[in-house]
């Protein structure tokens, strides 16, 4: 395991728990360092399972191809959520709080785009803003805080810059939209935007922060088309009036996974594969697919031995044809 140099301790903790549970220490190693450490690892391993940004993922794929290594990539996302008439607006708004703001939005499957049917758009926005305003932001070792710090001041500034650019281009802040230096250098309020056009960078590029944009749509077909109008395709969230309609919509979304009446469920659904399409990655993890990706298939076939077996049979057929 080569964790990000920004988050080294979680991998170290995971290894200690594995060893505590009885795993052979030689079966799990943790290598710390920056990108050059990862590049060096590629020269020595038999398989690469990479999680990170799309740009770095391309470099990993090129490096793997030089050694003809198999690999899988889970990359960026611009994950859509669709809310249609008949859905429980309270439940959908609560689900979006987790889907957009967990880990301060720094999750590969975080919701960043929400397409809401026009007939329920205003009410959904009102409920979401009300719930977002009640989230507690700060630092704590307990479970009494909803939103914590972002990974660094540099990243917080980048996300805030993306929000400010959207506002300068006509977007409207419904909730949040501010950094909180009074709480720490990298804190940012959970932010809800409206009046965001599809041409704005915040509609197309991964934000990876506590920011979500709302878009009114005519109907399910409009929502599907808008959701699919993206270079990314990692995860999607569907909220509708019934399970059948939600499944029909989910099957038309160009993502590696789709959750109905949920946002982040796929991450903890360990028995089914998880991964992306388009620029969100190649390959899958979790479930049978996730385990088998670390193996190489070998086929062993057996022939009858009499008279030289299968190969002699083929020679005999060839000889008969030549004799004719």
- Residue numbers annotated as active site: 74, 108
Q: How far is CA 313 from the centre of its chain?
A: 53
Q: Which residue is listed with tokens 């965001």?
A: 196
How far CA 156 is from CA of 79, 184, 188, in Å, comes to: 20, 11, 7
State how far the Cα of 253 lies from the Cα of 223, in Å rounded to an integer: 10
Q: How far is CA 273 from the centre of its chain?
A: 12
State how far the Cα of 321 lies from the Cα of 315, in Å rounded to an integer: 10
State how far the Cα of 140 lies from the Cα of 135, in Å rounded to an integer: 14
Q: How far is CA 178 from the centre of its chain?
A: 25
Burial group, residue 292, by CB count within 10 angstroms (0-12, 13-18, 19+): exposed
Assess contact for 257 and 274: CB atoms under 8 A: yes
Phi, psi of 282 (to 5 degrees): -135, 135
Query: What are 259's strand-pairing partners?
Result: 237
Query: Any residues with CB less than 8 A from the CB of 89 and at least 6 apart, and which?
Result: 83, 120, 123, 124, 127
């Amino acid at each position: 395991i080569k964790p990000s140099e920004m988050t080294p301790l979680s991998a170290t903790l995971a290894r200690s728990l594995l060893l505590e549970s009885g795993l052979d220490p030689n079966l799990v190693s943790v290598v710390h360092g920056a990108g050059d450490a990862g590049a060096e690892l590629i020269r020595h391993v038999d398989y690469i399972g990479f999680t990170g940004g799309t740009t770095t993922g391309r470099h990993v794929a090129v490096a793997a191809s030089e050694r003809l290594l198999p690999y899988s990539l889970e990359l960026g996302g611009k994950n859509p959520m669709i809310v249609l008439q008949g859905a429980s607006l309270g439940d959908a708004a609560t689900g979006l709080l987790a889907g957009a703001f967990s880990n301060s939005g720094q999750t590969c499957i975080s919701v960043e785009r929400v397409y809401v049917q026009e007939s329920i758009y205003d009410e959904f926005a009102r409920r979401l803003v009300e719930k977002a305003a009640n989230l507690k932001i700060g630092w704590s070792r307990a479970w009494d805080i909803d939103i914590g710090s972002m990974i660094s001041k540099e990243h917080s500034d980048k996300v805030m810059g993306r929000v400010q650019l959207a506002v300068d281009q006509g977007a409207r802040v419904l909730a949040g939209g501010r950094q909180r230096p009074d709480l720490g250098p990298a804190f940012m309020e959970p932010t809800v935007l409206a009046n965001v056009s599809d041409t704005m960078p915040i509609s197309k590029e991964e934000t990876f922060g506590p920011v979500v944009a709302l878009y009114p749509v005519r109907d399910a077909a409009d929502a599907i088309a808008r959701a699919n109008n993206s270079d990314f395709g990692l995860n999607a969230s569907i909220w509708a009036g019934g399970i059948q309609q939600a499944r029909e919509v989910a099957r038309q979304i160009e993502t590696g996974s789709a959750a109905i009446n949920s946002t982040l469920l796929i991450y903890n659904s360990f028995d089914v594969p998880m991964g992306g399409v388009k620029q969100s990655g190649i390959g899958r993890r979790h479930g049978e697919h996730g385990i088998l990706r670390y193996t190489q298939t070998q086929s062993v076939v057996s022939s009858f031995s009499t008279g030289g077996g299968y190969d002699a049979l083929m020679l005999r057929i060839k000889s008969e044809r030549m004799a004719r």
